[in-house]
Chain A
Amino acid sequence: MAISRRLPQLRENAFPDLYRTGYEVTSQEDDYQNCIAFAAGRPNGVWTPYAGNGYYWPRGLPRKTDVETFVKLYKLEAGYDPCDPSDEGEYEEGVEKVALYVDANNEVTHAAKQNKDGTWTSKLGDWEDVRHNSLEGVGGDAPAYGKVAKFLRRDQQRVRIEEPMKLP
């Protein structure tokens, strides 16, 4: 089935700046993956600090939703490092970047990954993936994802996709 290039209206309404700043739908919806795993390059999995069996969170990592914890998560699971504070998410050849969003309580709400053309791709919760021109597109007041609080980076050459760790 062909993928519609635009979200259904109700979903688009959740992100008031998305249409204005430009986007297109790039996948069908999928409950088996969330944006946190998606931005880390994992083909499936729902990474979330508070949940029951079936959901993934690394052993030993605090079950918290602050930025510092998610910086550690991306370092541990995917080799990302925090960007310099002056970095505003510009595209750099040979570098993969992830943007972490926080809400008004400074809790992480979302992660978007940068594409090679400088645009960004977000998995919208259980909904579709979208390629958006601007980080502002999925930001804003809830239920949108708030604002970008941190950029992460890793060299493309170091990318190695592995399955999430399993407990012994």
Chain B
Amino acid sequence: MNTWVYVDHFKGTALPASWEAIGVGKTLGTVKALVFGSGVEALAKTAFEYGADEVLLADDPALADYRAEAFAATLGKLAADGAPDLLLFPTTTRGRELAGMTAIDLKTGVMVDVIALEAADGKITVTRPIYAGKLLTKETCSSKPQIITLRGRAFPKPAQQAGKSGTLTKVSAAAGDFPTKVEGYTTAEGGVSLTDAGVIVAGGRGVSNNPALTPPAGLDEKQAEVWRAQQGFALVKDLAAVLGAAVGASRAAVDAGYIPYPNQVGQTGKVVSPDVYIACGISGAIQHLAGMRTSKVIVAINKDAEAPIFKLARYGVVGDLFQILPALSAAFKKKLGK
């Protein structure tokens, strides 16, 4: 099968799901990787090292920033000429949008956020979660090319083979006067991205309940609650720092103003699938469980032994997270030699 893989990157740093997509493409046949940007030839080299047979490199100042319309026009023209059987994208904000637009341009469909696939006679059948993972559906596409976005961490990342090379084909960016202009960026406050994270430490409403704390004078009741919660989240963040983990939160914690929305895990936040998910003071509402139920090892720390989160957890501690979390950070620091 002639598979093309869109390499999603930000300022030359690829999102790892792009390499996972090359790995999937290689199991089906030959892979052409698409690298669009400005000054991104190094990324083309890396694409070879992850297994691409050929790279179509559109290196042009007009592509310095991701703009849906400019990227879709470039991709649509290449695909119309090159006629791939299959177009793979990582399920990222850019990948999803570009896949959708390209499908319109090429008059085909998109199978989005796929977690498994099989090919028979050139036709792919995918499996993907719907209802935030409460159900799975199989999907097929009756038109060509078949366009698929792959969920990050659902497929293995291929080993990087230093020095491996392939055919580098330079292509031009689509000319045109595109209607959007990128003015700049505000970067997220540091830390590990939730969807790429191997380990996530998450906090819920319970992080605001530390009776041992006395809020500073002059705060009203709501401000005092948020202040308490922020002290609690500091313990969550400490453990995350020790483990190199991302920080997550339940909807209840986000809605109560304890932590910003980009940290929300669940049906109306991010759907994650880390190797280890440590839920602290999260009872486990169905909307939250939907967003993290495919984590490999789930650990729950909660003072309520009846909390639904324990039904998914491999390990549980029924106790006071304000005592357990600092002790757990200290224990990992020691055992991991940090």
Q: Do A and B come from one complex?
A: no
A-to-B contact residues, CB < 8 Å: none
